[in-house]
Structure 1
Amino acid sequence: MLLNIKSYIRRPEVAELISYAVFPDDQAVEKAIREYESHESWQLVGYEDDKLIVGLAGYEKKDTEVILHHIAIIPENRGLGYGRGMILEIMTKERPQRVIAETDEESVDFYRNLGFVVQSLGEKYPGVERFRCVYEVEEEAE
């Protein structure tokens, strides 16, 4: 189940999860935290398992799209379906027509395995290729 964790974004365990989704230095983590604090429309949800927050997803809904800003799972719980589960719960809650994420080469297969179409954005930062991942939500038959 997803929990709204934006109100306790400054807790060490939340900052640690954010560090897995950004360049792992204090400045990048602080910048991400400030973005959530300053943008009311940005949501931050955590996935709790046995009273431990094992993952988080940060996103915003813009019109008919969900923009994923961050997604992270603690290393020992990766590959167990938590990331997929968070994205599915966000889609169920927000009902977007499209979900968009930008990621690095390390995470491309995660998105591709969920049905996202992946496109290279080239080298956005020196030595770092970035990718745009888009999932088009199929309309449900009535």
Structure 2
Amino acid sequence: MMSEWMDLKTYHDHVAIMRLLSDCMYADEEAILRELVEYQRMESRQLYGKSDAGELIGLIGIEHHSECVAELRHIAVRSDYRRYGIGRDMLMNYIKDSKIQILKAETDQDAVHFYEKVGFDIVSLGEKYPGIERFQCVFYAKQ
């Protein structure tokens, strides 16, 4: 089904990237553009995507804190490609290719089950924002 795993820092279609970022950020266009610029500007951040027939269908945004510890900042799959394991595959391929040992993420109630299924350890952070429970998710790569 999918044809490519690509570095989005140099990808030409910023609108497609911003559309996917908006799916996981729930922010206004200005904030999404700022985040895209940060990915392009910062060496510690990486933005990768999957395509199908030349169209961007998913992305993951990673920030490295050290050689072996990274944070998953963004993950999104286009709605018509969800439930095919693309998000899981992007994460597992990144972990394997990067050789990181620990991948951390923070999420909400809507996405916590995805992280559990992928194999992350989950700890509730409690109600971090009024009425919104957040979760710390940590994946320990097997060496």
The one-letter code of the counterpart of 1:74 is: R
Q: Structure 1 stretches (4+) deviating beyond 6 angstroms?
A: none
Kindly indicate whether residue 109 of structure 2 is the aligned counterpart of residue 114 of structure 1. Answer: no
1:75 matches 2:76:
no
Q: CA deviation at 1:9?
A: 7.2
What secondary structure is seen at the aligned counterpart in 1 of 2:119?
coil
Partner of 1:27: 30
- Listed as ranges, the gaps of 5+ residues in structure 2 are none
Tell me the C-alpha RMSD between the 2 structures.
1.6
User: Which amino acid letter does the alignment assign opposite residue 113 of structure 2?
Assistant: D
Q: How many residues align?
A: 139
Is contact 1:111-1:133 (8 Å) kept? yes
Matches within 5 A, 1:1-142: 1-8=4-11, 11-61=14-64, 62-139=66-143
Q: Distance in 2 between matches of 1:25 and 1:45?
A: 22
Q: Secondary structure at the match of 1:112?
A: helix
* Structure 1: distance between partners of 2:131 and 2:12: 30
Distance change >3 Å, CA 108–CA 28, structure 1 → 2: same
Whole-angstrom CA distance in 2 between matches of 1:75 and 1:104 = 18
Deviation string 1:32-52 (CA, Å, 9 cap, x unpaired) is 223213312200001111211
Shift in CA distance, 35/129, structure 1 to aligned 2, threshold 3 Å: farther
TM-score norm. by structure 2 comes to 0.88
TM-score by length of 1: 0.89
1:80-114 superposed Cα distances (whole Å, 9 cap, x missing partner): 11101100110111111111111111110100001
